[in-house]
């Protein structure tokens, strides 16, 4: 994949600052808490090896996997990132069924969790982690949920999402090839939510999935709850540059009233006239 296919996020804003974990190939830049860039080729530094390759639909079931290094050795030591050793994102290939999970690790390097996949089909797993002594990394694999898949069409583009009586609004448009400012605001029953609760050490976590090729982006706030600077809502402003025109699914995890909720959006990135973006090579590249 060429450089034009990389997300570049530069986070700032009035309500919260974001840091970027960018995933489209292998590790491409040094990472720190405020600015992370990482990618996965499927044959690079780390590989996700599912132990559980098929699960039932609609029933809670165990899910196990390992992360192995380039020599095929299971990774057993990790550095905590945002209060967890590993963040596991799961989404069906039609971008439905999003889950953000936190499995547990045994001494041999096996990660385990239990979850319920409501619908049959192929699911992409994204393991987001920092190996001990290393940098932010991503490993991906697919698992099958048994039964005949009934793929859903991509939801229409919308600047609002509702979940459990909350409304999250996106103000701004996303341009491909040039920075765009987008503000995300959370309200409940028409009133701004100004007391969002920390979730995994932050007021929100944002995942973006390319609807076409399932490339993955995980965005964390750079501010910290209680630092006297970062507000607890309602708005979050950030800048993003989409690599090319196309549709993306956004998943915002936020906590309020001691419950974590996920607001889901479809956004369409329009090509910027100011940028001459080269065609994508497809697949993964270096």
> Is 238 among the domain residues?
yes
Last residue of a domain, one of 118, 145, 172: 145
Whether the Cβ atoms of residue 174 and residue 250 lie closer than 8 Å to each other: no
Q: Is 4 helix (H, G, I), strand (E, B) or coil?
A: helix
Residues 22 and 49 in one domain: no
Distance between first and last Cα of the chain: 7
| 173 within domain boundaries | yes
Percent of the chain with pLDDT over 70: 77
Domain enclosing residue 87, as ranges: 41-145
Whether 46 maps to a domain, the answer reads: yes
pLDDT score of 24: 36
For the entire predicted model, the pTM comes to 0.80
Question: Which CATH number covers residue 206?
Answer: 2.60.40.10
CA distance 230 to 115: 33
Q: Count of CB atoms within 10 A of residue 177's CB? A: 19
Sign of the torsion angle spanned by Cα atoms 127, 133, 134, 136: positive
Q: Is the pLDDT of residue 215 over 70?
A: yes
Q: Structurally, how many domains does the chain consist of?
A: 2
Are 185 and 237 part of one and the same domain? yes
Residues 112, 207 within the same domain:
no
- State yes or no: pLDDT of 282 exceeds 80: no
Among the candidates 145, 170, 190, a domain finishes at 145
Among 87, 114, 145, the domain-final residue is: 145
**CA-CA distance, 59 to 114, in Å (whole number)?**
10
Which residue's structure tokens are 């001494």? 107
Query: 């132990």: which residue's tokens?
Result: 51
Structural domain contains residue 166: yes
Give the model confidence (pLDDT) of 155-213 as tens digits.
Answer: 999 999 999 999 999 888 877 777 777 778 999 999 999 999 998 988 888 888 889 99
């Amino acid at each position: 994949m060429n450089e034009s296919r990389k997300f570049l996020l530069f986070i700032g804003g009035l309500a919260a600052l974001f840091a970027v974990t960018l995933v489209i190939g292998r590790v491409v830049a040094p990472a720190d808490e405020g600015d992370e860039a990482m990618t996965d080729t499927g044959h690079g530094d780390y590989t996700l090896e599912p132990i559980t390759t098929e699960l039932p639909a609609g029933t809670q079931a165990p899910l196990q996997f390992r992360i192995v290094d380039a020599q095929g050795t299971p990774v057993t030591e990790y550095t905590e990132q945002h209060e967890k050793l590993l963040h596991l994102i799961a989404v069906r290939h039609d971008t439905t069924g999003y889950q953000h999970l936190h499995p547990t690790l045994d001494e041999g390097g096996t990660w385990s969790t239990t979850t319920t996949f409501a619908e049959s089909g192929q699911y992409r797993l994204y393991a987001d982690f920092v190996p001990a002594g290393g940098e932010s990394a991503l490993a991906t694999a697919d698992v099958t949920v048994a039964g005949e898949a009934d793929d859903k069409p991509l939801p229409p583009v919308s600047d609002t999402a509702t979940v459990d009586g909350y409304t999250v609004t996106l103000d701004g448009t996303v341009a491909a090839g040039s920075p765009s400012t987008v503000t995300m605001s959370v309200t409940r029953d028409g009133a701004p939510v100004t007391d969002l609760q920390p979730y995994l050490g932050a007021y929100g976590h944002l995942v973006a999935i390319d609807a076409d090729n399932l490339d993955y982006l995980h965005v964390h706030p750079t501010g910290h709850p209680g630092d006297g600077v970062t507000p607890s809502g309602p708005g979050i402003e950030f800048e993003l540059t989409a690599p090319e025109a196309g549709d993306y699914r956004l998943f915002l995890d936020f906590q309020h009233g001691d419950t974590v909720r996920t607001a889901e959006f479809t956004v369409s990135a329009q090509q910027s006239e100011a940028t001459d973006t080269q065609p994508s090579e497809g697949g993964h590249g270096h």
